[in-house]
C-alpha cells in the first residue's frame, strides 16, 4: 500500500528545489505553497532549473500531487471592477506558470461578495473561472470550502455546487475540503464524518473531492470564525483526524496541514498522521529498532 500523501504549507522563499528538500526533511509526500506573495500580487518568474530539480526530488521520493494556493488578495467577486480584473489576470497567469509543474492542483478561496449577496458572488466567480480556465490545461482548479467568515462564498456545499454548475469547463474543477473551515461552517466532521461525506456526495459529488486541508479549529461547530489550531488542540479533536486518514474515501487524497506550530509542529503532525494510518515514520526509522 502506498504511503499517505500528507504534508504542509511551505514557503517558496528559498526556491522550489529547496522547498522540495524541506518537504523530504519533514517526511512529507505532498505540500502546498503560494503561487505568489499571498498579500501582494507580484510573481517571480520561475527558474526552469529550479523547477526541474524539484521535479526530480518529487519523483525520487514518491510524492503525490502538490496543492498550490492562490493569493488571499485574489477576489473574483469583489464589488470593485479593478479587483475583479486583477483576480482574473492573477488566476490566468498562475495557471500558465503552473504548466511547468504539470498536474499540480491550484486551490483558491472562491471569494467574498462584500455585500452584493451570494447569488451575485457566485455569478462573478463563474464568469472569472470561465475566463481563466483553458481547455486542455493540466491543472485542476480546486474551490476551497470556506468557514463563512464575513461575506465569504463557499460556506455551504450548495454554494460550491452552484459555482461548479455555472462553469463551462467544469471538468477542470474540484474541491479542497478544509476541516477547520467546514467545521466552522457547521459540518460536524468530528462526530458525523460519514454523514458529512454523504451530504457532500449528494450535493457536489465525491468525485469532485480532490484534496484536504487538515486543521483543527479554535472555535466550536458553526462559529464561522476560521482560526486554525494544531491537531488535537482545538474543538475537532485528534480522534477525528485519525478517522479521516483511515477513511477509505479520504486516505488516498493529498492532505495538507495549515496549522500554527511552525515546521517542528508540522514534523510532529505528519508523524502523528502516519502513525494513525499504521505507517512507519521517519522517527521510527531513526530509532533504528529493527
Ligand atoms: Fe486556503
Ligand atoms: Fe485551508
Ligand atoms: Zn482557514
Rounded Cα–Cα distance for residues 233 and 231 (Å): 6
User: Residue 61: inside a domain, yes or no?
Assistant: yes
Q: If you measure from the C-alpha of residue 144 to the centroid of ligand 2, how many angstroms do you get, rounded to a whole number?
A: 7
User: Residue 191: inside a domain, yes or no?
Assistant: yes
Rounded Cα–Cα distance for residues 193 and 243 (Å): 8
Q: If you measure from the C-alpha of residue 149 to the centroid of ligand 3, how many angstroms do you get, rounded to a whole number?
A: 10
Cell numbers describing residue 16: 522550489
Contact present, 199 and 241 (Cβ < 8 Å): no
Cell numbers describing residue 243: 478517522
Residue 50, pLDDT score: 97
Rounded Cα–Cα distance for residues 166 and 121 (Å): 12
Range of the domain at 131: 6-288
Cell numbers describing residue 188: 460536524
Residue 286, pLDDT score: 65
User: Residue 12: inside a domain, yes or no?
Assistant: yes
Rounded Cα–Cα distance for residues 227 and 260 (Å): 10
Scanning the structure block, which residue is given the C-alpha cell 455555472?
166
Nearest 5°: the CA angle 254, 255, 261 is 150
Q: Judging by DSSP bridges, how do beta strands 30-34 and 67-69 pair with one another?
A: parallel
Residue 39, pLDDT score: 78
Q: If you measure from the C-alpha of residue 244 to the centroid of ligand 3, how many angstroms do you get, rounded to a whole number?
A: 18
Rounded Cα–Cα distance for residues 290 and 64 (Å): 28
Residue 290, pLDDT score: 40
Cell numbers describing residue 227: 482560526
User: Residue 276: inside a domain, yes or no?
Assistant: yes
Q: If you measure from the C-alpha of residue 178 to the centroid of ligand 2, how many angstroms do you get, rounded to a whole number?
A: 5
User: Residue 138: inside a domain, yes or no?
Assistant: yes
Rounded Cα–Cα distance for residues 6 and 200 (Å): 22
Cell numbers describing residue 121: 458572488
User: Residue 134: inside a domain, yes or no?
Assistant: yes
Rounded Cα–Cα distance for residues 90 and 76 (Å): 10
Residue 284, pLDDT score: 74
Nearest 5°: the CA angle 271, 240, 221 is 130
Q: Judging by DSSP bridges, how do beta strands 105-108 and 111-112 pair with one another?
A: unpaired
Residues annotated as catalytic (active site), given as ranges? 39, 69, 72, 109, 144, 178, 181, 213, 226, 228, 258
Ligand nearest to the CA of 179: 2
User: Residue 1: inside a domain, yes or no?
Assistant: no
In 3D, which of 43, 45, 44, 55 has the Cα closest to residue 17? Answer: 55
Q: Please, what are the averages of pLDDT over each run of 10 residues along the chain (290 residues)? A: 93 96 98 88 85 97 97 96 96 95 97 98 98 97 98 98 98 98 98 98 98 98 98 98 98 98 98 96 61
- H or E, element range at 25: helix 16-25
Residue 289, pLDDT score: 44
Interval 269-287: pLDDT, tens: 999 999 999 998 776 766 5
User: Residue 39: inside a domain, yes or no?
Assistant: yes
Interval 77-134: pLDDT, tens: 999 999 999 999 999 999 999 999 999 999 999 999 999 999 999 999 999 999 999 9
Residue 288, pLDDT score: 47
Q: If you measure from the C-alpha of residue 264 to the centroid of ligand 2, how many angstroms do you get, rounded to a whole number?
A: 19
Tell if the pTM clears 0.75, that is, is over it.
Answer: yes
Domain count, the chain: 1
157: CATH: 3.20.20.150
Amino acid at each position: 500500500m502506498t504511503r499517505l500523501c500528507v504534508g504542509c504549507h511551505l514557503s517558496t522563499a528559498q526556491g522550489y528545489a529547496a522547498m522540495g528538500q524541506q518537504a523530504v526533511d519533514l517526511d512529507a509526500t505532498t505540500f502546498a505553497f503560494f503561487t505568489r506573495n499571498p498579500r501582494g500580487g507580484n510573481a517571480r518568474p520561475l527558474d526552469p532549473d529550479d523547477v526541474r530539480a524539484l521535479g526530480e526530488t518529487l519523483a525520487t521520493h514518491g510524492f503525490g500531487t502538490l496543492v498550490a494556493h492562490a493569493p488571499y488578495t485574489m477576489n473574483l467577486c469583489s464589488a470593485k471592477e479593478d479587483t475583479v480584473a486583477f483576480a482574473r489576470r492573477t488566476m490566468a497567469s498562475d495557471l500558465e506558470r503552473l504548466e511547468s509543474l504539470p498536474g499540480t492542483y491550484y486551490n483558491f478561496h472562491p471569494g467574498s461578495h462584500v455585500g452584493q449577496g451570494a447569488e451575485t458572488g457566485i455569478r462573478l466567480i463563474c464568469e472569472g473561472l470561465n475566463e481563466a480556465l483553458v481547455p486542455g490545461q493540466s491543472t485542476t482548479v480546486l474551490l476551497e470550502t470556506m468557514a463563512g467568515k464575513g461575506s465569504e462564498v463557499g460556506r455551504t456545499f450548495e454554494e460550491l455546487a452552484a459555482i461548479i454548475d455555472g462553469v463551462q469547463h467544469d471538468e477542470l474543477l474540484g474541491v479542497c475540503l478544509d476541516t477547520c473551515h467546514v467545521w466552522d461552517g457547521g459540518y460536524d466532521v468530528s462526530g458525523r464524518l460519514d454523514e458529512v461525506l454523504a451530504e457532500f456526495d449528494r450535493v457536489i459529488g465525491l468525485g469532485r473531492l480532490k484534496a484536504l486541508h487538515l486543521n483543527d479549529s479554535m472555535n466550536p461547530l458553526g462559529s464561522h470564525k476560521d482560526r486554525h489550531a494544531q491537531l488535537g488542540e482545538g474543538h475537532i479533536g485528534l480522534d477525528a483526524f485519525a478517522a479521516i486518514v483511515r477513511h477509505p474515501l479520504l486516505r488516498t487524497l493529498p492532505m495538507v496541514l495549515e496549522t500554527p506550530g511552525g515546521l517542528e509542529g508540522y514534523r510532529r503532525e505528519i508523524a502523528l498522521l502516519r502513525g494513525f494510518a499504521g505507517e512507519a515514520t521517519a522517527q521510527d526509522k531513526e530509532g533504528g529498532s529493527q
